[in-house]
């Protein structure tokens, strides 16, 4: 490539959050592939599209993990599984490369978080299988349209409720807790029930102690403050459950999405309510 | 055992259909285990409980079949998967033995139906994995309570719509067609939509030709007569799809439920609408 060609190329600045919100999933994934995505979260990115948490495992563990997801359908609704060695999620994001097109990955070795990555090209094996698991950020636009705020008072918490094990996979259920007004809580319950393949309706409402929520150590951010009298805590099963499972299951190598960094699929959230 | 003990044992007659309807799943499975179940269908048996179609495969094909089910969630909603070699579906029918407690099995070798069995004790292997797939008979009681007849004008048909393949598994989608009044069709659509893990809402309504339904050769019974003007044909994905898949996929040994003969699980249909 000649110097003049380079000069002609427009400067590639990162889109603003408003621009990210209006971009197509394919456009956003391209930015991620080029390593230009620097936001802390994919929330509000390519609004109205289903976002997925990833899990990457060797083929030898794929059946057991699939079984884990079947036994824990609420936190782990599987929307796509790649063929061994194929990094393209052909059904939900054709053309995407799962090694580079997700904005962040957590790498666990023997249950220890080795670190975060922005690509997993060097970790991908000939027999790697990727699971794409629906995330509750997928419902944000639908909730907002229905008058339910989605920006504030939202935490991801470990519980003391065990998941149903399968093979080596076990660990605590992780939930998203949102503080809503009573009216919002009722609307959100009905609305999310229409998305059975995206965690569905809440699994609990009211006292966080009933699930044994760890309010002091959310999976991201600061401890949860005292709950005000005028809000209703509402709890959904969360697709960060595989990260908690990776911590305790001690798998040789298990890759998940980094917290709050989902794969942006081509699926339109409004359509998956009747898949 | 002495002759007198035998004489004291009450004569074991088969329950009537009305008695079957009121029996618990465990009681019904016991009758099946003893080989005393002779009805043509499990419809109306242990009413209000989820019935399942079975698929039994070696562990080596379990991941690919699980993937097939994930990619074809509407016809193949997986409700339980046994651990390799374990014939007990611990989550949906604890205490049951899948080798004997289902009233009929179809045995396919290389895509050819070898025959029907009432048990598969001799075919069960140390690495056999059984998949329990929700059947639409599970919704019958709920439909009836809502005023939708479920007894007449109901066929299981192959379509020319291909399923999404996975590994060696491929074949046509199978549907249940019911002829309903317009009012029944609208009620049934709303009601079955509440059961996303039991085939959910209809996949089609109206002209059977749109799905390429084979009206001349239903998977059971006589050809479909001409459709009267005052009924609406309504189509649900059907858990007999694995039988059509067994016919064309040419697996060495694939065992399914025999037509219309489901495993009676302990799950209450009314409860699985919000699993």
ipTM of the complex: 0.81
Shortest distance between the Cα of B223 and any Cα of chain A, in A, equals 31
The pLDDT profile of chain B, 275 residues, written as one tens digit per residue, is: 444 444 444 557 899 999 999 999 999 999 999 999 999 999 999 998 999 999 999 999 999 999 999 999 999 999 999 999 999 999 999 999 999 999 999 999 999 999 999 999 999 999 999 999 999 888 888 899 899 998 889 999 999 999 999 999 999 999 999 999 999 999 999 889 888 778 889 999 999 999 999 999 999 888 999 999 999 999 999 999 999 999 999 999 999 999 999 999 999 988 765 54
B159 lies in the same domain as B74: no
CA distances in angstroms from A182 to A6, A143, A186, A198, listed in the order given: 57, 14, 6, 22
Model pLDDT, residue B254 = 98
Shortest distance between the Cα of B172 and any Cα of chain A, in A, equals 18
Judged by CB atoms closer than 8 Å, whether chains meet at B62 and A62 is answered as no
Model pLDDT, residue B269 = 86
Model pLDDT, residue A10 = 54
Shortest distance between the Cα of A224 and any Cα of chain B, in A, equals 29
**Residues of A near B (CB-CB distance < 8 A)?**
59, 62-63, 66-67, 70-71, 73-74, 78, 81, 91, 164, 193, 196-197, 200-201, 274-275
**Residues of B near A (CB-CB distance < 8 A)?**
59, 62-63, 66-67, 70-71, 73-74, 78, 81, 91, 164, 193, 196-197, 200-201, 274-275
Q: State the count of interchain CB pairs (< 8 A) between A and B.
A: 41
* Domain assignment of residue B62, yes or no: yes
Shortest distance between the Cα of A88 and any Cα of chain B, in A, equals 15
Judged by CB atoms closer than 8 Å, whether chains meet at A71 and B59 is answered as no
The closest CB to that of A67, out of B74, B81, B201, belongs to: B81
Q: How far apart are the first and last CA of chain B?
A: 47
* Domain assignment of residue B11, yes or no: no
Judged by CB atoms closer than 8 Å, whether chains meet at A70 and B78 is answered as yes
* Domain assignment of residue B82, yes or no: yes
Q: How far apart are CA B127 and CA B97, in angstroms?
A: 15
The pLDDT profile of chain A, 275 residues, written as one tens digit per residue, is: 444 444 444 557 899 999 999 999 999 999 999 999 999 999 999 998 999 999 999 999 999 999 999 999 999 999 999 999 999 999 999 999 999 999 999 999 999 999 999 999 999 999 999 999 999 888 888 899 899 998 889 999 999 999 999 999 999 999 999 999 999 999 999 889 888 778 889 999 999 999 999 999 999 888 999 999 999 999 999 999 999 999 999 999 999 999 999 999 999 988 765 54
Which structure tokens are listed for B10? 């009450």
B91 lies in the same domain as B183: no
The residue among A57, A196, A275 with the most chain B CBs within 10 A of its CB, best to mutate, is A196
B106 lies in the same domain as B162: no
Q: A88: left (phi > 0), else alpha (psi -120 to 50), else beta?
A: beta
Which structure tokens are listed for A122? 């060097």
B131 lies in the same domain as B257: yes
Judged by CB atoms closer than 8 Å, whether chains meet at A81 and B74 is answered as no
B105 lies in the same domain as B152: no
The closest CB to that of A62, out of B63, B196, B197, belongs to: B63
CATH number of the domain at B233, please: 3.30.2040.10
CATH number of the domain at B42, please: 3.40.1640.10
Q: How far apart are CA B229 and CA A47, in angstroms?
A: 45
Judged by CB atoms closer than 8 Å, whether chains meet at A70 and B66 is answered as yes
Closest A-chain CA to B74: A275
Give the Cβ contact number of residue B115 at 10 Å: 11
A237 lies in the same domain as A253: no
Mapped onto helix, strand or coil, the DSSP state of residue B33 is helix
Model pLDDT, residue A84 = 93
Please tell me the total count of domains within chain A: 2
The residue among A55, A58, A59, A63 with the most chain B CBs within 10 A of its CB, best to mutate, is A63
Model pLDDT, residue B134 = 93
Judged by CB atoms closer than 8 Å, whether chains meet at A200 and B274 is answered as yes
B122 lies in the same domain as B26: yes
Judged by CB atoms closer than 8 Å, whether chains meet at A81 and B67 is answered as yes
Buried b (16+ CB within 10 A) or exposed e, B133-165: bbbbbbbbbbbeeeebbbeebbbbbbbebebeb
* Domain assignment of residue A1, yes or no: no
B154 lies in the same domain as B204: yes
String of DSSP letters for B48-98: TEEEEEEEEEEGGGHHHHHHHHHHTTTT--EEEEPPTT----TTTSTT--T
Judged by CB atoms closer than 8 Å, whether chains meet at B274 and A63 is answered as no
Question: Which residues of chain B are within 8 Å of residue A193 when distances are taken between CB atoms?
Answer: 274
Question: Which residues of chain A are within 8 Å of residue B81 when distances are taken between CB atoms?
Answer: 67, 70-71
**Residue A99, Cβ density class (10 Å: 0-12 exposed, 13-18 middle, ≥19 buried):** buried
- Residue closest to B131 by CA, chosen among B185, B89, B71: B89
Alpha helices in chain B, H assignment, sequence order: 3-8, 17-22, 25-33, 62-71, 140-145, 182-192, 241-249, 269-272
Helix, strand, coil percent values for chain A (each to nearest 5): 25, 25, 50
Q: What is the largest CA-CA distance in chain A?
A: 65
* Domain assignment of residue A64, yes or no: yes
Q: What is the largest CA-CA distance in chain B?
A: 66
R_g over Cα of chain A: 19
Which structure tokens are listed for B83? 């651990």
B26 lies in the same domain as B93: yes
Question: Which residues of chain B are within 8 Å of residue A197 when distances are taken between CB atoms?
Answer: 73, 196
DSSP A181: -
* Domain assignment of residue A199, yes or no: yes
B90 lies in the same domain as B22: yes
* Domain assignment of residue A10, yes or no: no
Q: How far apart are CA A231 and CA B222, in angstroms?
A: 60
- Asked if B134 and B79 touch (Cβ cutoff 8 Å), the reply is yes
Full residue range of the structural domain in which residue B199 is found: 139-242
* Domain assignment of residue A119, yes or no: yes
- Which tens digit of pLDDT belongs to each residue from A220-229? 888 999 999 9
Interior angle at CA B62, CA B56 and CA B63, nearest 5: 155
Model pLDDT, residue A273 = 56
The residue among A60, A70, A195 with the most chain B CBs within 10 A of its CB, best to mutate, is A70
Question: Which residues of chain A are within 8 Å of residue B74 when distances are taken between CB atoms?
Answer: 275
Q: What is the mean pLDDT of chain A?
A: 92
B128 lies in the same domain as B254: yes
Shortest distance between the Cα of B20 and any Cα of chain A, in A, equals 30
B53 lies in the same domain as B125: yes
Judged by CB atoms closer than 8 Å, whether chains meet at A274 and B200 is answered as yes
């Amino acid at each position: 490539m000649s110097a003049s060609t380079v000069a002609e190329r427009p400067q590639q600045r990162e889109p603003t959050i408003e621009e990210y919100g209006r971009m197509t999933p394919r456009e956003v994934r391209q930015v991620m592939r080029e390593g230009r995505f620097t936001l802390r979260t994919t929330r509000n990115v390519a609004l109205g599209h289903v976002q997925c948490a990833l899990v990457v495992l060797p083929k030898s563990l794929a059946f057991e993990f699939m079984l884990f997801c079947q036994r824990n359908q609420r936190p782990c609704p599987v929307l796509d599984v790649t063929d061994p060695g194929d990094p393209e999620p052909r059904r939900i994001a054709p053309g995407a490369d799962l090694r580079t097109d997700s904005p962040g990955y957590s790498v666990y070795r023997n249950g220890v978080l080795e670190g975060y990555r922005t690509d997993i090209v060097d970790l991908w094996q000939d027999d790697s299988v990727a699971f794409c698991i629906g995330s509750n950020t997928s419902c944000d636009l639908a909730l907002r349209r229905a008058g339910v705020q989605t920006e504030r008072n939202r935490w991801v918490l470990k519980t003391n409720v065990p998941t149903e094990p399968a093979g080596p996979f076990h660990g605590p259920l992780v939930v998203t807790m949102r503080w809503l007004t009573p009216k919002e809580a009722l609307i959100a319950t009905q609305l999310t029930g229409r998305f059975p393949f995206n965690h569905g309706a809440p699994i609990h409402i009211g006292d966080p102690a009933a699930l044994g929520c760890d309010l002091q150590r959310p999976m991201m951010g600061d401890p949860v403050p005292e709950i005000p009298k005028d809000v209703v805590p509402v709890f959904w099963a969360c697709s960060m459950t595989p990260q908690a499972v990776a911590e305790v299951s001690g798998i040789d190598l298990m890759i998940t999405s980094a917290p709050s960094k989902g794969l942006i699929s081509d699926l339109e959230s409004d359509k998956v309510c009747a898949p």
